[in-house]
């Protein structure tokens, strides 16, 4: 019986260790950012300049770059993700085509981000360059739009799988009641399925948004790495994650390294809250579903 | 009647759009797979797997990256699997506020950007050790794999009928024996599936390795020294100006994606067989 007590203690210990791990990640980031926090304070977040040579650092260009790429990516992928969700959650729940689609989105989620970046660099960038030439804008090829395009493909599986699950969970008697009143499928979707599943769809989109914000490699390879506030969607820029990836090993001074970790801390806080809210919505839904 | 026809027409158009967008969104997958096969397959031969990289303009093989990836995955597995399984058991066995909070925290950990995990491994391992190493990269990947091990353990063990445990208790077995001789063996295939999917995921991670494992053009088995990995090699070669290096990157991408897809397919097929048995 002593063994049982040790074992139960071991279980608790493992759970506690993981909680401690997440807490220590946050604390370590804060401690390592202290030199930069002391130097720049909160103005770090709103300052416009990132200049490693003059050792003046602030995060606004990257916060703007991150938000622009991820919002645009979410907007581009939204119609496609919702279409997949309604297709496999309502139109074609079973059968060869729907399992093929499910399999394809699984594979999309499984492709490593460096391969997305590589493919984007060699196929999308030349394509965008041609497009820019025909519109008479500077033909960078790389930039915010290209990064958003790659990101939008990458987050389709995350945005669609959650939405598909909640759409498939809508009770069929509710839908049948709608059909019995003479509604078309579009009307049932608009008036019954969508209101019933909207919070789950929102949670899925939120998690996909979190993915887009934190995505590093694919973005780093196609965004063009310019440390300034972008004035157009076709300009090179940098995101929080991509500037860390680019400059971390080359940081020459302690304050530079500390500022990069400060950026990591901001990234941690943003994604923490997005994931926390998304997961709380899902948790609440599954509790409601059970009762 | 006109109004009814309009409603039906709207419905038809909507259905058409759903089908159209669904099929359009599969195109990128095929475009990516197609270019990997087209550009990658030609580079691959036996030499590609068993030789080391050569200085430009030659490219050489990817042996260093294969060994490095193996080493990193091994370290990550050692770091994450034991504690992940035990923590997963904890979540099944415990119903209180802390367990609920932990569940949310684990999801949050899974959603953390991989580059942040890289910074953490840098602060915790690279800095104290005084240099880049396979160990630090493996620990970074292990932290990323941990949530997947915990969740697959929890999901699997939850499905095992409680009667199985009662049978074990009725035979006089204690809690420890019941868990290790009855519950875990019954759920081992599901846990294994989760572990394999976790390995497939971390084997393709690049960002947390940039300033931990760092990359290394030479063969290295020492965990205290830097190693290369397939995704790191792809990144470095892809960004290089040499055509042969870029071609080697396509070849390495093909190898990596084949590895990831094989695990995914294996888990799908294997999972189906095991589920029937259970």
Q: What is the three-state SS of A8-64? A: HHHHHHHHHHHHHHHHHHHHHHHHHHHHHHHHHCCHHHHCCCCECCCCECCCHHHHH
* Phi, psi values for residue B219, rounded to 5°: -70, 130
Tokens of residue B30, six digits? 């095929």
The predicted structure's pLDDT at residue B265: 85
B15 contacts on A by Cβ (under 8 Å): 91, 185-186
The predicted structure's pLDDT at residue B274: 47
- In this prediction, what percent of chain A has a pLDDT beyond 70? 98
User: What does A209-226 look like in DSSP terms, one character per residue?
Assistant: HHHHHH--HHHHHHSB--
Mean pLDDT of A134-140: 92
The HSE-up count of residue B104 (CA atoms within 13 Å, CB side) is 18
For residues B109 and B19, membership in a common domain is answered with no
For residues B195 and B121, membership in a common domain is answered with yes
Per-residue confidence in pLDDT tens, chain B, 278 aa: 588 999 999 999 999 999 999 999 999 999 999 999 999 999 999 999 999 998 877 888 999 999 999 999 999 999 999 999 999 999 998 888 999 899 999 999 999 999 999 999 999 999 999 999 999 999 999 999 999 999 999 999 999 999 999 999 999 999 999 999 999 999 998 899 999 999 999 999 999 999 999 999 999 999 999 999 999 999 999 999 999 999 999 999 999 999 998 998 888 887 655 443 33
For residues B35 and B101, membership in a common domain is answered with no
For residues B13 and B115, membership in a common domain is answered with no
For residues B91 and B212, membership in a common domain is answered with yes
Q: What's the complex ipTM?
A: 0.93
The predicted structure's pLDDT at residue A2: 83
d(Cα B242, Cα B225) in Å, to the nearest integer? Answer: 27
Enclosing domain of residue B35: 2-43
Contacts of A262 (CB under 8 A, 6+ apart): A33, A36, A37, A40, A44, A57, A59
Mean pLDDT of A57-73: 96
For residues B30 and B51, membership in a common domain is answered with no
Contact A87 B90 (CB under 8 A): no
Enclosing domain of residue A56: 2-290
Q: Which of residues 55-114 of B touch A (CB under 8 A)?
A: 83, 86-87, 89-91, 93-94, 98-114
The whole-chain average pLDDT of chain A stands at: 93
Number of domains in chain B: 2
> pLDDT digit string (tens) for A32-54?
999 999 999 888 999 999 999 89
The predicted structure's pLDDT at residue B73: 97
For residues B7 and B30, membership in a common domain is answered with yes
> pLDDT digit string (tens) for B41-61?
999 999 999 999 988 778 889
**How far is A221 from chain B, CA to nearest CA, in Å?**
8
Number of domains in chain A: 1
Which residue in the block uniquely carries the two structure tokens 């929890």? B154
The predicted structure's pLDDT at residue B2: 81
Give me the CATH number covering residue A212.
1.10.3720.10
For residues B63 and B155, membership in a common domain is answered with yes
The predicted structure's pLDDT at residue B57: 79
Q: Looking at the partner chain, which of B26, B106, B118 has a beta carbon nearest the beta carbon of A104?
A: B26
Which residue in the block uniquely carries the two structure tokens 């820019």? A132
Q: In chain A, which ranges are continuous DSSP H helix? A: 2-40, 43-46, 60-86, 96-110, 113-119, 125-134, 144-168, 172-180, 185-188, 194-214, 217-222, 240-247, 254-290
d(Cα A1, Cα B144) in Å, to the nearest integer? Answer: 35
For residues B50 and B35, membership in a common domain is answered with no
The pTM for the full model equals 0.94
The predicted structure's pLDDT at residue B264: 87
For residues B168 and B209, membership in a common domain is answered with yes
For residues B224 and B246, membership in a common domain is answered with yes
Tell me how far apart the 2 most distant CA atoms of chain A are, in Å.
78
d(Cα A84, Cα A93) in Å, to the nearest integer? Answer: 11
Contact B90 A113 (CB under 8 A): no
For residues B186 and B268, membership in a common domain is answered with yes
B29 contacts on A by Cβ (under 8 Å): 104, 107-108, 111
Tokens of residue B269, six digits? 């097929």
Phi-psi region at A224: left, alpha or beta (left = phi > 0; alpha = psi -120 to 50): left
């Amino acid at each position: 019986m002593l063994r049982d007590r040790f074992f139960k203690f071991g279980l608790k210990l493992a759970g506690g260790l993981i909680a401690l791990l997440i807490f220590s990640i946050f604390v370590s980031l804060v401690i390592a950012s202290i030199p930069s926090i002391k130097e720049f304070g909160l103005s770090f977040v709103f300052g416009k300049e990132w200049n490693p040579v003059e050792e003046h650092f602030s995060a606004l260009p990257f916060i703007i770059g991150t938000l622009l790429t991820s919002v645009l990516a979410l907007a581009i992928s939204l119609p496609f993700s919702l279409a997949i969700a309604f297709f496999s959650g309502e139109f074609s729940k079973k059968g060869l085509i729907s399992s093929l689609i499910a399999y394809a989105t699984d594979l999309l989620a499984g492709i490593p981000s460096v391969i997305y970046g590589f493919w984007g660099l060699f196929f999308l960038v030349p394509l965008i360059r041609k497009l820019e030439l025909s519109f008479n804008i500077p033909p960078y090829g790389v930039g915010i739009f290209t990064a958003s395009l790659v990101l939008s493909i990458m987050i389709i599986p995350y945005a669609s799988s959650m939405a598909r699950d909640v759409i498939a969970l809508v009770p069929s008697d509710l839908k049948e009641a709608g059909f019995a009143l003479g509604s078309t499928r579009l009307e049932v979707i608009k008036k019954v399925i969508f209101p019933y599943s909207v919070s789950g769809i929102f949670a899925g989109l939120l998690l996909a948004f979190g993915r887009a914000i934190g995505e590093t490699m694919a973005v780093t390879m196609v965004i063009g790495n310019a440390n300034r506030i972008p004035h157009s969607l076709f300009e090179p820029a940098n995101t929080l994650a991509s500037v860390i990836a680019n400059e971390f090993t080359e940081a020459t001074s302690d304050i530079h390294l500390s500022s990069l970790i400060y950026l990591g801390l901001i990234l941690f806080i943003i994604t923490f809250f997005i994931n926390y809210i998304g997961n709380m919505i899902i948790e609440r839904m599954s509790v409601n579903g059970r009762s | 009647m006109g109004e009814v026809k309009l409603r039906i027409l709207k419905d038809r158009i909507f259905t058409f759009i759903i089908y159209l967008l669904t099929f359009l969104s599969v195109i990128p997958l095929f475009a990516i797979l197609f270019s990997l096969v087209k550009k990658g397959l030609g580079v691959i031969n036996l030499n590609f797997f068993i030789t080391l990289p050569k200085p430009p303009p030659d490219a050489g093989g990817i042996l260093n990256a294969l060994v490095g990836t193996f080493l990193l995955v091994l370290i990550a597995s050692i770091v994450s699997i034991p504690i992940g399984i035990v923590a997963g058991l904890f979540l099944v066995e415990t119903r209180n506020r802390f367990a609920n909070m932990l569940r949310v925290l684990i999801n949050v950990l899974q959603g953390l950007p991989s580059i942040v995990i890289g910074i953490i491994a840098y602060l915790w391992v690279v800095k104290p050790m005084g240099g880049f190493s396979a160990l630090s990269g493996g620990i970074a990947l292990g932290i990323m794999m941990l949530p997947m091990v915990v969740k697959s353990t929890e999901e699997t063990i939850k499905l095992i009928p409680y009667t199985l445990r009662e049978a074990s208790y009725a035979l006089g077995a204690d809690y420890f024996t019941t868990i290790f001789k009855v519950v875990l063996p019954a759920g081992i295939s599901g846990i294994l599936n989760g572990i394999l999917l976790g390995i497939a995921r971390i084997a393709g991670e690049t960002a947390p390795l940039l300033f931990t494992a760092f990359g290394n053009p030479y063969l290295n088995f020492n965990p205290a020294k830097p190693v290369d990995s397939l995704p790191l090699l792809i990144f470095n070669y892809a960004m290089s100006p040499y055509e042969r290096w870029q071609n080697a990157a396509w070849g390495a991408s093909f190898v990596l994606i084949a590895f990831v897809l094989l695990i995914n397919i294996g888990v799908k097929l294997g999972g189906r067989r095991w589920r029937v048995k259970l």
